[in-house]
């Protein structure tokens, strides 16, 4: 990737929320994790792993409510919050989120197929 395509905290400072939504298509997970770390790691470290996990769970609950309401705009907003809290948690646990998702690079890690051919679990 050329340096012209790298998203950094300083390169985002002048952008509006609308501009950030446009540029986010070009941001990879590693860049997102770094931005979240640069922005929130100090606060997250003081809060601790369990409280950060609690915030993630709370955001998932908010997403759940918006899914029930079928509010697409709110779903997008809450999904962004969920992703940010999940990556914040990864930072505290010293886990590279990109490495964590690598097992899905070739499809389903269980059946090894794309799309997944695993049977649905019985309820």
Q: Is the peptide bond before 115 cis (omega within 30 degrees of 0)?
A: yes
For a pLDDT cut of 70, what percent of the chain falls above it? 79
Q: What is the mean pLDDT of residues 78-100?
A: 97
pLDDT at 6 over 80: no
pLDDT at 82 over 60: yes
> pLDDT averaged over the chain?
87
pLDDT of residue 27: 82
74-to-15, 20, 85, 118 alpha-carbon distances in Å: 22, 17, 16, 32
pLDDT at 67 over 50: yes
Q: Domains in the chain, ordered, with CATH?
A: 3-104 (1.10.287.1080)
Q: What is the mean pLDDT of residues 70-76?
A: 96
């Amino acid at each position: 990737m050329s340096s012209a395509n790298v998203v950094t905290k300083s390169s985002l400072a002048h952008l509006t929320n609308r501009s950030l939504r446009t540029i986010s298509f070009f941001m990879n997970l590693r860049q997102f994790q770094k931005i979240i770390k640069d922005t929130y790691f100090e606060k997250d470290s003081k809060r601790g792993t369990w409280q950060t996990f609690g915030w993630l769970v709370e955001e998932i609950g908010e997403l759940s409510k918006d899914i029930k309401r079928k509010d697409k705009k709110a779903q997008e907003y809450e999904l962004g919050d969920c992703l940010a809290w999940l990556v914040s948690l990864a930072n505290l646990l010293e886990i590279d989120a990109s490495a964590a998702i690598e097992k899905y690079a070739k499809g389903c890690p269980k059946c090894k197929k794309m799309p997944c051919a695993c049977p649905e679990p019985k309820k």
